Amino acid sequence: MPNELIYFLMIIVVLSMTLFMFRMGKTWLYAYIAVCIVLANIFVTKQFTLFGLSATGGNITYGAIFLVTDMLCEHYGKEAGRKAVLIGFFAAVFYLITSQFILLIKPSEYDTVHEGMKAIFSFAPRIVLASMIAYLVSQFHDIWAYHTIRKITNNRMLWLRNNASTWTSQLIDSIIFSLIAFVGVFPMKIVLQIVLSTYLLKIIVAAIDTPFLYLSYRFLPDDLLPKPEVREIK
């Protein structure tokens, strides 16, 4: 099965799970964003080729985070989106700290996975710093842009505020991460290629997630459903 087909199927699965979590309620989305950020940090160690471009495995679960914050902003407001961003940030910090502790524990002579865990959990401080700064800046920009566009369009054109906010935020994310992580390590030409390739793959996820945001209105959780009229019995 070609990588492109597997990648597309994974996008559908991850975005469908996002919609399911929304249907279960706001708390489930908060938990889901923590799961997605941790998985993105693990999956990013997988490298492969997609449409002739070098790619990493974290783009899909990381891209789902933008759909989560857009759903929260759309249905629960700006503060819910900001809370989700902070939950994701602290989940990532917790993952990074605890993963280093597990690497410090000396394996027994019968251990068979320590070297594999080192390959996944080892990281450069510069990469971590780039990732954290890019995440916070791009996510808070996404929330600001989403609500700004929503206000300008008078709550119309859901597709516009979803795509415009996410695409610009993903570009900011790619630029900040690549500049902090790779300038001085690779020639500027290579850094720009990394920005372009990662951004193109991210907007594929962003473009596909638009129908799922529309579907969220058909899968409203119980706390967003109209309350039945209660008639007083005399």
Q: Tell me if the pTM is above 0.85.
A: yes
For every residue of 49-96, DSSP letters joined together read: EETTEEEETTHHHHHHHHHHHHHHHHHH-HHHHHHHHHHHHHHHHHHH
Please indicate, yes or no, if residue 232 is contained in any of the structural domains: no
Please indicate, yes or no, if residue 229 is contained in any of the structural domains: no
CB atoms within 10 A of CB 83: 16
Please indicate, yes or no, if residue 65 is contained in any of the structural domains: yes
Please indicate, yes or no, if residue 231 is contained in any of the structural domains: no
Residue 75, domain extent: 3-221
Q: What is the pLDDT of residue 229?
A: 53
Show the tokens assigned to 116: 């594999």
Show the tokens assigned to 102: 């597990």
Q: Per residue in 114-168, pLDDT tens?
A: 988 888 888 766 778 888 899 999 999 999 999 999 999 998 999 999 999 999 9
Please indicate, yes or no, if residue 63 is contained in any of the structural domains: yes
Q: Per residue in 54-66, pLDDT tens?
A: 777 888 999 999 9
Number of domains in the chain: 1
Percentage of the chain with pLDDT > 90? Answer: 55
